[in-house]
């Protein structure tokens, strides 16, 4: 059992939890993830390590409430326990030897982009962060990004905060102004990462994307997280989650990601109904 030591609501659909997991905190690196079960009857879901504190022995996770399991997880409070919390899994992001990097985060993907930006900053890399959200109400982690970024560009689709437009608009403007990057790291919705990679490919800028397909066991056995990368099958849980953005078949990944949307929504609604009956 793993105790929740801190819970913070970041926006109406996104929650942060800091969880006691000393053995995971000892080994975790940016880019890796954990798999948890809320209770003994629960399903396994992967969540990226958003931060870690080796001294306190804690792991921070940030999740969006989209399905039954994230809904149940969000019902827990500080002092409650999570049944299973396994990790760190996946390959850590490669951050060594980079002089100047653009880190791009979209929506809740910013929770994954932040620890990468933080690690790069600690290594002395010049970090330009571009973070995008649909609107002002959904903005998360702005202060944390600002603390680890030499340049921070805030974007919203509707212009309600920062600059109106997409993260690709901001990246294009930075490139046009003469900024030269060793690498671009894009983390967020698959469609966003696709268009970032299309842009950077025109300039020959190495681009890394973080893929989060459907995943069950996290050890490469189930095959649920398979992707096509460079014409070959790869598994996000053991070969990734970071991949060369020029080689990922984004259209296939998006099609597979849509397969279970109806089931996910049904499970979420059922979990809501059950919880409401329990509290009545």
- From the list 49, 52, 22, the residue with the least C-alpha distance to 122 is 52
Q: Give pLDDT, residue 262.
A: 63
Query: What class, spelled out in words, does domain 100-257 have in CATH?
Result: alpha beta
- Taking the CA atoms of residue 105, residue 106, residue 110 and residue 112 in that order, the dihedral angle to the nearest 10 degrees is -80
Phi, psi of 88 (to 5 degrees): -75, 145
Angle, CA 11 vertex, CA 10 and CA 14 arms, to 5°? 75
Q: What stretch(es) of the chain map to CATH 2.40.30.10?
A: 2-89
Q: What stretch(es) of the chain map to CATH 3.40.50.80?
A: 100-257
Q: What predicted TM-score, i.e. pTM, was given to this entire model?
A: 0.87
Over residues 236-257, mean pLDDT: 91
Mean pLDDT of the residues in the chain: 90
Per-residue pLDDT at 268 exceeds 70: no
pLDDT tens digits for 138-175?
999 999 999 999 999 999 999 999 999 999 999 999 99
Residues 6+ apart with CB under 8 A from 261: none
Considering the domain 2-89 in this protein, what is its CATH number?
Answer: 2.40.30.10
């Amino acid at each position: 059992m793993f105790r929740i030591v801190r819970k913070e609501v970041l926006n109406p659909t996104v929650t942060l939890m800091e969880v006691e997991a000393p053995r995971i905190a000892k080994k975790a690196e940016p880019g890796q993830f954990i798999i948890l079960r809320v209770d003994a009857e629960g399903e396994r879901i992967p969540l990226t390590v958003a931060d870690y504190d080796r001294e306190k022995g804690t792991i921070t996770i940030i999740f969006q409430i989209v399905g039954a399991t994230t809904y149940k997880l969000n019902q827990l409070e500080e002092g409650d326990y999570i049944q299973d919390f396994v990790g760190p899994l996946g390959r850590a992001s490669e951050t060594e030897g980079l002089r100047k990097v653009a880190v791009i985060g979209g929506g809740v993907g910013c929770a994954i982009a932040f620890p990468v930006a933080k690690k790069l900053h600690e290594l002395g890399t010049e970090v330009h962060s571009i973070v995008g959200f649909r609107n002002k109400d959904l903005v998360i982690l702005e202060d944390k990004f600002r603390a680890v970024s030499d340049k921070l560009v805030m974007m919203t689709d509707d212009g309600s905060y920062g600059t109106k437009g997409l993260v690709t608009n901001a990246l294009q403007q930075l490139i046009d102004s003469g900024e030269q990057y060793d690498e671009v790291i894009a983390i967020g919705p698959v469609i966003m990462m696709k268009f970032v990679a299309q842009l950077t490919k025109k300039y020959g800028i190495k681009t890394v994307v973080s893929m989060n397909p459907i995943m069950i066991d996290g050890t490469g056995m189930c095959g649920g997280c398979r992707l096509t990368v460079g014409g070959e099958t790869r598994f996000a849980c053991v070969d990734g989650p970071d991949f060369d953005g020029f080689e990922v078949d984004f259209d296939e990944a998006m099609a597979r990601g849509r397969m279970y949307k109806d089931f996910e929504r049904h499970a979420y609604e059922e979990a809501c109904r059950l919880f409401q009956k329990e509290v009545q």
